[in-house]
Amino acid sequence: MRLSLHDMIYLALLVTFVACDAPPVPLDDIVVEKTFVPEKCERAVKTGDFVRYHYNGMFPDGKKFDSSYDRGSTYNVYVGKKQLIAGMDKALVGMCVNQRSLVKIPPALAYGKNGYGDSIPADAILHFDVLLLDIWNPEDKVQSQTYYKPEKCSRTVQVSDFIRYHYNGTLLDGTLFDSSHNRMRTYDTYVGIGWLIAGMDQGLLGMCVGEKRIITLPPSLGYGENGDGSDIPGQASLVFDVVLLDLHNPKDSISVEDQVVPEACTRKSQEGDFMRYHYNGSLLDGTFFDSSACLSGTKIPGSAVLVFDVHVIDFHNPSDAVQITLSYKPENCSLLSKKGDFVKCHYNATLLDGTPIGSTHSFDRTYDVVLGAGQMVPGMEDGLKDMCVGEKRVLVIPAPPGLRRERSGRRGTRQRRVGL
């Protein structure tokens, strides 16, 4: 086939056209090249959202004309409200936090024929390397998402409770701005009465001790337009990963929960009684701090609710006399024991909780004493008086003063005055 002259000119034109630099973008629309897409994208930009992003603005030849990095702060703006050049309004929609895209914008969707000041000439194609850092919407409320809830939860956080918790605070892109762990102590505060930023005052309500939550709040419920002046930038959404460790209300009194009450309970402890008990002391989240078995426990943090698991072994009142209960009296009872008598008896001795501590039967001989000769503790002297031969009694003898030992419960009763 022979080419006509016309065809040849056409071919030449075509070749010329191809040899020139092809325009980097079609002349009528933006081109978006995603350079990084995060694995997790919980939320993509919609029209009407507010975003914070970093960008480098370049001409197609790579020459930079503007950069948010150079200004040291993100660009903060509403999307789809004509606050941006049309190409950017369009390019930002659908982006996720931490996504990075190279956006190529034709002049018609940028500064067109007029350009912009000295920096952007007429009909310039613009390239923006965009990194999205934050999205929120004026309609947003506090979002809280529980990712661990303990099985037992008898009480949840209410307005005006005092709580202790650990948290990690991050921006939406994951940048850590604060953590209670770095200070090695819990954050201790009232909830719901303005001690906290509004979002936390709301987001912590309803939590159980031991529960773990992610609380996400828009800047209006956090540090607002100006940020906190240091690590939290203006207009930033905040994400708090929280674990609640302790909860009480200053109006709370001590609360007592009986776990075991023995069937035979002839006497209840009263003020002034001397008591022996075992206990395990823990914080509300279960952290052990000490016990009667091990007094060298860990430090008790300030404002902590203390839980004592108590097992009462013994109590009496120092003013108690020996308590005598007759269990058998022979019919023929004329001669009663008295001071100066020599008596022989059998006994089984136990502690008040039933623990055996000795028996004449195990030695296979009787206990032989003279009454009133100071051979026994005073309670025993009293208990053996006025008995007749064959009589059986149960004696409850209060510990004589010399035998009292103030060992158990020292920490529970003295160092910390629970409920006072």
Ligand X SMILES: *[C@@H]1O[C@H](CO)[C@@H](O)[C@H](O)[C@H]1NC(C)=O
Closest CA to 200 of 151, 155, 153, 165: 165
348 touching ligand X, by CB under 6 A: yes
Applying CB under 6 A, which of residues 34, 81, 149, 361 lies at the interface with ligand X? 361
Residues counted in the chain? 420
With beta carbons less than 8 A apart as the criterion, state whether 161 and 191 touch: yes
Segment lying near ligand X (by CB under 6 A), choices 5-13, 74-82, 97-105, 306-314 = 306-314
Site size toward ligand X (CB under 6 A) is: 23
Cβ proximity to ligand X: between 122 and 388 the closer is 388
| Distance (Å, whole) CA 282 – CA 300 | 9
Applying CB under 6 A, which of residues 131, 243, 371, 399 lies at the interface with ligand X? 243
Closest CA to 189 of 177, 201, 181: 201
Closest CA to 244 of 187, 160, 301, 181: 187
With beta carbons less than 8 A apart as the criterion, state whether 9 and 3 touch: no
Which residue in the block uniquely carries the two structure tokens 């089984």? 348
With beta carbons less than 8 A apart as the criterion, state whether 158 and 205 touch: yes
Active-site residue, from 49, 50, 53, 85: 85
344 touching ligand X, by CB under 6 A: no
Applying CB under 6 A, which of residues 309, 353, 386, 406 lies at the interface with ligand X? 309
* Contacts of ligand X in 321-340 (CB under 6 A): 332, 334
Is 128 known to be catalytic?
Answer: yes
Q: How far is the CB of 294 from ligand X (least distance, A)?
A: 9
177 touching ligand X, by CB under 6 A: no
Active-site residue, from 53, 128, 223, 240: 128
Specify the amino acid at residue 113.
K
Segment lying near ligand X (by CB under 6 A), choices 60-68, 262-270, 308-316, 363-371 = 308-316
Specify the amino acid at residue 149.
K
| Distance (Å, whole) CA 196 – CA 340 | 78
The alpha-helical segments, DSSP class H, found in 184-234 are 198-203
| Distance (Å, whole) CA 420 – CA 417 | 6
Site string for ligand X, 389-418 (x = CB under 6 A): ---x--------------------------
Is 85 known to be catalytic?
Answer: yes
Closest CA to 245 of 205, 304, 201: 304
347 touching ligand X, by CB under 6 A: yes
185 touching ligand X, by CB under 6 A: no
Is 315 known to be catalytic?
Answer: no
Which residue in the block uniquely carries the two structure tokens 């190409």? 87
Cβ proximity to ligand X: between 319 and 334 the closer is 334
Token readout for 289 is 């701090």
Is 65 known to be catalytic?
Answer: yes
34 touching ligand X, by CB under 6 A: no
Applying CB under 6 A, which of residues 241, 273, 320, 341 lies at the interface with ligand X? 241
Active-site residue, from 50, 53, 55, 187: 55
Is 177 known to be catalytic?
Answer: no
User: For 23, which DSSP code?
Assistant: P
Cβ proximity to ligand X: between 46 and 311 the closer is 311
Applying CB under 6 A, which of residues 133, 135, 242, 371 lies at the interface with ligand X? 242
346 touching ligand X, by CB under 6 A: yes
Cβ proximity to ligand X: between 61 and 258 the closer is 258
| Distance (Å, whole) CA 123 – CA 105 | 11
Cβ proximity to ligand X: between 101 and 180 the closer is 180
* Contacts of ligand X in 277-296 (CB under 6 A): 278-280, 291
Provide the sign of the torsion angle of the four alpha carbons 203, 204, 208, 209, taken in this order: positive
| Distance (Å, whole) CA 115 – CA 123 | 7
Site string for ligand X, 249-278 (x = CB under 6 A): -----------------------------x
The burial class, CB within 10 Å (0-12 / 13-18 / 19+), for 122 is exposed
What are the residues facing 275 on neighbouring strands? Answer: 315
Residues annotated as catalytic are: 55, 65-66, 85, 111, 128
Residues of this chain that interact with ligand X (CB under 6 A) are: 166-168, 179, 181, 241-243, 278-280, 291, 309-311, 332, 334, 346-348, 359, 361, 392
